[in-house]
Amino acid sequence: MWRSITINLADLLFSVSEAMDLSDPSLVDHQIRTAYVSSELAQAAALNHHDAERLFTAALLHDIGALSPEEKLGIHMHEDLRPEPHCQRGGTLFREAFWLAPAADIIDWHHTPYAVHREHGRSLSDASVTEAQMLLLGDVLERSVDRNRFILHQLDGLRARIRKLSGTLLHPDLVLLFEQVAKREEFWLELVSRDLSRHLRERSLLRFINIDYPAARAVAGVLKDITDFRSRFTAAHSTGVASCARQIAEVLHFSGKDLQQIELAGFLHDIGKLVVPNSILCKPGMLSPQEYAVVRQHPFYTHRILARVRGFEQIAEWASCHHERLDGSGYPAQLDRHSLDLGAKVVAVADVAAAIAERRPYRDPGGQQAVLTALQDMSVKGLLEPTIVEALADRYNQIMDNVHAAQADDEQRYQARYAQFS
Ligand SMILES: [Fe+2]
Ligand SMILES: [Fe+2]
Ligand SMILES: [Fe+2]
Ligand SMILES: [Fe+2]
């Protein structure tokens, strides 16, 4: 009997939150800072632990529905930009995963003005309204901080800004609560501290929940969606890589736990693309050398995000080495056949196979001949492991039929809910 994997959910949420905000200097730690302000308000309001944890989870990933760095930046800089689409998409994404679903309403409402709640007869006695308002206050405050000025020189302006929103955007009681919190200089110094993320992790505002494989798979599914749904051409890419890698690993007699890990590695292998802007990621033509360099950093960030999650050590390695090549010509670490693990080599083959079989802006999807010719060519050149390429070639139709079946669900969800946004 093999043991199932368990991972630490809090580690994963912190890690993804940070990664989402790495794409522009003005966004760094935006969600973590917002989560901090929300948690200080929750503490001042004596919210129970369950509600405080739910709010914190929502705040850490509150802009998850803004699928590109450009959209995140737009919402961050421009008040008048319509924020609803990213709220709705974020709420929908949260509802897909059991551990995130309880916070979905908060994501839906994180830009909803108090006046609108009032029109709809919703009051602060509804916990999700209270929490969404706390998140909104944290978000507005964080976006108003001038990152180039000493924080204690900005207090009057920041407090006045929040006070001005009382009764319209924010519930007056919440603004009064904020006034209490904002009296402490410590609150402000902590907000802009470089160590804020580490402090929050140590204060364990989230329980360190070990989740099992089905739960990890559901959360990884959401993260896969935010990676792949940025373009119709990649909407089902990571699902394809996961399915292909898992099936090849079965042929190679991987254990049950390793099959789970290789599937998750497939789901998450391109998560580092969170730092790459859409203008480059979705560019229809050839990339310039400068643009290509920006794309090439993504496996480095895949490793950065996953390696910090307890329980994900193996997955981090397999996922982040998918552009390494056996002769050491890959990236980002230039590892070679001796230092690459079998699982990493499997994901690399699956990534190439899935990518060639998908449509791209500049070409039709590759059929069996195109995929196998490319793989065998790379195998002959000493880039990909020949035994793995053979394992796929021997069962090509069976494996790729399953890959396409797995991808059909993603294609359908993408078309139904996200296509209009990309
Ligand atoms: Fe937002
Ligand atoms: Fe935000
Ligand atoms: Fe990649
Ligand atoms: Fe990929």
**Domains of the chain, first to last:** 7-202 (1.10.3210.10), 212-421 (1.10.3210.10)
Tell me the CA–centroid distance for residue 356 and ligand 3, in Å. Answer: 13
Tell me the CA–centroid distance for residue 237 and ligand 4, in Å. Answer: 7
Q: Which amino acid, 93?
A: L
Is 4 a residue whose pLDDT tops 80? no
* DSSP H helical ranges for 45-184: 49-60, 69-77, 84-95, 104-108, 114-119, 127-144, 155-164, 172-182
Predicted local distance difference test score (pLDDT) of residue 422? 53
Distances, alpha carbon 292 to alpha carbons 272, 275, 328, 331, 365, in Å: 14, 13, 19, 12, 22
Tell me the CA–centroid distance for residue 269 and ligand 3, in Å. Answer: 6
Torsion of CA 140, 143, 144, 145, to 10 degrees: 130
Q: Which ligand is nearest to the CA of 109?
A: 1
How is residue 418 annotated by DSSP?
I
Q: Across-strand partners of 166? A: 170
Tell me the CA–centroid distance for residue 78 and ligand 2, in Å. Answer: 11
Q: Which amino acid, 116?
A: V
pTM for this prediction: 0.89
Is 2 a residue whose pLDDT tops 60? no
Q: Which ligand is nearest to the CA of 234?
A: 4
Tell me the CA–centroid distance for residue 184 and ligand 4, in Å. Answer: 47
Cα(188)–Cα(181) distance, rounded to whole angstroms? 9
Tell me the CA–centroid distance for residue 257 and ligand 2, in Å. Answer: 37
Decide if 106 contacts 34 (C-beta within 8 A). Answer: no
pLDDT digits (tens, 9 = 90+) for 263-322: 999 999 999 999 898 889 888 888 999 999 999 999 999 999 999 888 899 999 999 999
Six token digits for residue 12: 């994963």
The residues placing their C-beta within 5 Å of ligand 1, an ion, are 63
Tell me the CA–centroid distance for residue 415 and ligand 2, in Å. Answer: 26
Predicted local distance difference test score (pLDDT) of residue 1? 40
Tell me the CA–centroid distance for residue 373 and ligand 3, in Å. Answer: 20
The more confident residue out of 363 and 129 is 129
The residues placing their C-beta within 5 Å of ligand 2, an ion, are 63, 139
Tell me the CA–centroid distance for residue 86 and ligand 1, in Å. Answer: 7
Q: What is the largest CA-CA distance in the chain?
A: 70
Least confidently predicted of 107-111, 248-252, 358-362: 358-362
Cα(242)–Cα(60) distance, rounded to whole angstroms? 26
Cα(108)–Cα(132) distance, rounded to whole angstroms? 8
Q: Which ligand is nearest to the CA of 272?
A: 3
Tell me the CA–centroid distance for residue 355 and ligand 4, in Å. Answer: 7
The residues placing their C-beta within 5 Å of ligand 4, an ion, are 270, 351
Cα(222)–Cα(96) distance, rounded to whole angstroms? 7
Cα(322)–Cα(331) distance, rounded to whole angstroms? 9
